[in-house]
Structure formats: structure tokens, C-alpha cells
Structure 1
């Protein structure tokens, strides 16, 4: 199948989405939607409505309120909308309950989806393959409500992934997270130093693990000198790591 020229596809709608600073709803309409939700299933001639990163509606008839709500409308005639983040366990029928499904196009979930031609999307797996191997055929790729690809090309100013490399250690002098973190039973002691190094004492054994760490928001990533990676999460005044809950000593 040859490459289709899609450069003019809903160009005005894209401009409105990128220029919007009022949180207007966005409606992708008249699409076939593979929701991957076992209750909703596959819809035809349907609409997908979202506000920012939140998916708020899916199904036929939502278009009737588009003008009243001031929605930005994207016509998807002849196109299929699928989750952009795929729950491969669900695809293999490995989820026993609907509540265990992730990344479906059900209201209340994150607005992550792809729009591809019907002929290239017999199912979710084939649609995702188009995103990975033929991005020029992708009409839209939306991540948390913001377009990443549109009409087969990168959206101007799109966020890109950080360079794949191990970052240099930062100077954490003065950080309130530097110090010795101790779990409730005093089994684990993890010292985070200002030069980006950590040193763990476990069960009274000093230097059980040592290595480098990086803090990104409330997440901390560890690269041990033995070569393995691990992570922790700051929750208020606690550091959660590998099942342990620690506080500054």
C-alpha cells in the first residue's frame, strides 16, 4: 500500500488545539473506536471526547453537544481510534476483571490514543504496528491530551524523550532529601549523599549496596555499582523502596 498524502488532514483543528489556553473540550468524531474495554467493546460511527489529559466520553451522539460546549471537532471519517498505550496482557485475555484493565479508551482514563486508516487497523495490534513502523500514515497520536503526531508528521514543539544516557551526578547540597533514611525496624539504612551516591546498610551489614542515584520529582533511580537498577519514591516525609518505608534519621 502506498503512502497517502495526509498533510492537510484537519489542519485547522490542530491549530485550534495547539492555540487553546482555556481548556476547551476536543471531540474526535465519526470514527471506529477500538476501546479495549470489555464493557464498551468496539464502536462504529462514534465519538471520543476529552478535556486535557482526561477522557470524558466515548460513543455515538456526543457530537450533538459539540457546538454548545465550544468543542474543537476533528472529523475521523474512514479512520480508527485505538489506545496508544497497549495492555498486552488484556490482548492475551490475561485480565480476569474489567477493573484490572489498563490503557483502555474508557471515560476516566488518560487521553492516550492513535488514529489510523481503517484499512490499517484490523485490530489494536495492527494499529500500534502502524504507529511504530509507518508513522507517516498516522493521522493523530495524542499523549495525555496533547498531539504528538498529526497528519503523518511531528507536531511543532512536541515534547521529545530525553537523550538515552546516564546523566551526570548533580550537586544535591542543601537538598532536604540528603541524609540517612532508616526503615521502621532499623533493618535498612540508606544514606543519600550530596554528591549523588548512596550507601546501604542491611541487617547490620555495612555497604551491602552502593552506587549512584538521581532524583526526578518524587522518584529516585538507583544504579548500583554491581550494575543493576532500582527505584524508590518519596511520599511526603517517607522514602518507599523495595517494600521498605524509611524516614530520615
Structure 2
């Protein structure tokens, strides 16, 4: 489904959605007057509260933030009667498996990424029921926000990301890429050659062709599909390639 002028006009908070979708200036967005299930044990559940985010970053949660909305030129979304819950559920946190406040990453905690759901209160007694509503009754969802951007609004998808197609993608032509070459770890144990045709070939401890397969680079991420059938990944950090505990540089 796509968004139309009629959908926006008839939908929930249509003016705010229009501002939200055209927000290229980095304006703060404020969801106000909601019940908020933060899933953070320190903050807990708040009623009549506000959720403030800038870009993908959640910067404030609690009552009274609305007072600064005008000063900050915030986009204000009235969430009266709504419950806001995390769209990504930290089941480890729910089970008591987090030891420090900073570990509660999939919660509505300032400093975290804003992945959130706005659901009518009658459908969201708790976080599991809010997520169930998204999966079974998406037409009832008022908003799904992913990394600070609207994906679902008033039951209509407005910014759905394109999911990767099933199947193994074709290798890209990486001729001229500065990341093509032989990457060598600091102990000279692992040599990983990335070739321009999207293949890799590893030498480990002097053992040639220890692992071979395909690779794909997306930004600073590299994904590997070994010819044996397993997947692995690495990350480029400046002039280093980090993979499976190894730190490599171009030889």
C-alpha cells in the first residue's frame, strides 16, 4: 500500500504526518500525552507523557516535555488515548538478563534508537499485546516508527523499506574499489584476499584456500557466504577490517 492525499486527510494526525515525511531539516518530533511502556526498569511505565526524538535518536521521555516544543520548533503528534511501546522487544531484558542500565538497548530510553509503536490503549495492555497488534491488526496501528522515520501511519504503510529479495544476490563488480586486495591480520596468521569479482580466499597459518566463497559490501559492512554454506560478516573501521576477532589491514 502507498500513501495518497485522501489517506492523509482521513487518517490520524494527518498534518503532523505531512510535516514528519517532509522533515529534512532535522526538526525534533514529539509524541505527546501518551501512556509510554518504556521497558526500562528505572523509568517504568508513564501516563500522560511525552516521547521526544531527533532523527533516529530518542532524546527525552516523560511528562512536561511539551512545554519546550514551541521553542524547539518540534513536530507535535497528539497521542491522546494511545500507548507507545518499543517496536523491538528486548526479551533478555524482560527476563532479567541485563545487568546495567546502558545494556537496555531495545527500550524507550533516552540515548537509544527510536523504534516504537503507537497503538490504541485498548489494544496495548502491555508490550507483547502491542507487538501482537502490529502483527495481527496492522490497520489499527496509529504509527510504527523505525529509526526515527514513519513506516506505518493510521494503518497505511508510508515508508516501508524494500526488503532484500530471496535468493543469493549477484556479485558486484568491485573493480577499482580500495577494499579489493589482500587483508592481513597483525600476527600474519590470516590472509584474506578480496577480489574484484566478489570472491574471497583465505590463507590461515600458511594453509592456502582454508575458506573460499562470495562476499558483498554494504557501506562498512561485509557479508561472506562460504562455499561450505555458512554465513559470516566483518566490518571496515577506517583502514582496518574486523572479522571473527581478527583485525586486518591491506597488505
The TM-score range, normalised by the shorter chain, is: over 0.9
Unaligned runs of at least 5 residues, structure 2: 1-6
Q: 5 Å matches for 1:38-187?
A: 38-155=41-158, 157-187=159-189
Unaligned runs of at least 5 residues, structure 1: none
**Structure 2: distance between partners of 1:109 and 1:126:** 22
Determine which of 209, 227, 232 is the counterpart of 2:234. Answer: 232
1:184-232 C-alpha deviation (Å, 9 max, x unpaired): 1111111111111111111111111111011111111000000000011
Q: Which residue of 1 aligns with 2:4?
A: none
Determine which of 22, 27, 32 is the counterpart of 2:30. Answer: 27
Query: Residue 69 of structure 1 aligns to a residue in which SS?
Result: coil
1:152-195 C-alpha deviation (Å, 9 max, x unpaired): 1111x543323233210111111111111111111111111111
**Structure 2: distance between partners of 1:164 and 1:120:** 33
**Structure 1: distance between partners of 2:162 and 2:35:** 29
Q: Which residue of 2 aligns with 1:243?
A: 245
2:6 equivalent to 1:18: no
1:114-157 C-alpha deviation (Å, 9 max, x unpaired): 101111111111111211222111100011111000001111x5
- Please give the TM-score of this superposition, normalised by the length of structure 1: 0.93
- Please give the TM-score of this superposition, normalised by the length of structure 2: 0.93
Deviates more, 1:94-103 or 1:138-147: 94-103
TM-fit CA distance, 1:245: 0.8
**Structure 1: distance between partners of 2:132 and 2:86:** 12
Deviates more, 1:97-106 or 1:31-40: 97-106
Q: Which residue of 1 aligns with 2:3?
A: none
Q: Which residue of 2 aligns with 1:199?
A: 201
Question: Aligned residue pairs: how many?
Answer: 244
